[in-house]
Amino acid sequence: MDSDSSIAAQFLDEFAASVNAKDFAAHMALISEQVSIKGLPGFDAIGYEEWARQCKHEFDEGILDHVDYNGLVLREHDAGRIVFATVETVRASDASVNTMGLEMEIAREEDGHWRMIRQRLLDEEEIGSLQLAAD
């Protein structure tokens, strides 16, 4: 695994660990204040404040039970930016499970930390090609 893939894999590990521990501060430390999340039903895009509000609610109310990521396909990268795709599986406390393909972009910010600056939900066709590429 090359270094960019290693950075992305470590980011996903930390991202999942922060959610699974319900550690709001650790989770938000992985999110850029310039983040843009696209593809959520009913929204053009959401930003940092909306993400923070939703996470705080889900963590405080115990809505999420567990999240994990399967596969990592590097799509673009340069010295301070990595774009990759993965499949996220979220198990809620009511035992419901939601699996979705995601494209994430992380960037090394001025303080040297890698943070998510963009996330996009993938459509069915993209998810199918991702699963083939990740196998």
Taking each continuous run of H as one helix and of E as one strand, the counts in the chain are: 4, 6
- CA 25 vs CA 21, 31, 53, 55, 127: distances in Å: 11, 10, 12, 10, 30
Per-residue pLDDT at 1: 46
- Give the pLDDT score at 45: 84
Contact 48, 31 (CB under 8 A): yes
Q: What is the mean pLDDT of each run of 10 residues along the chain (135 residues)?
A: 84 97 96 90 83 94 94 91 95 94 96 96 79 53
pLDDT at res. 2 = 58
Three-state DSSP at 52 gives helix
pLDDT of residue 124: 80
Per-residue model confidence (pLDDT) at position 40: 72
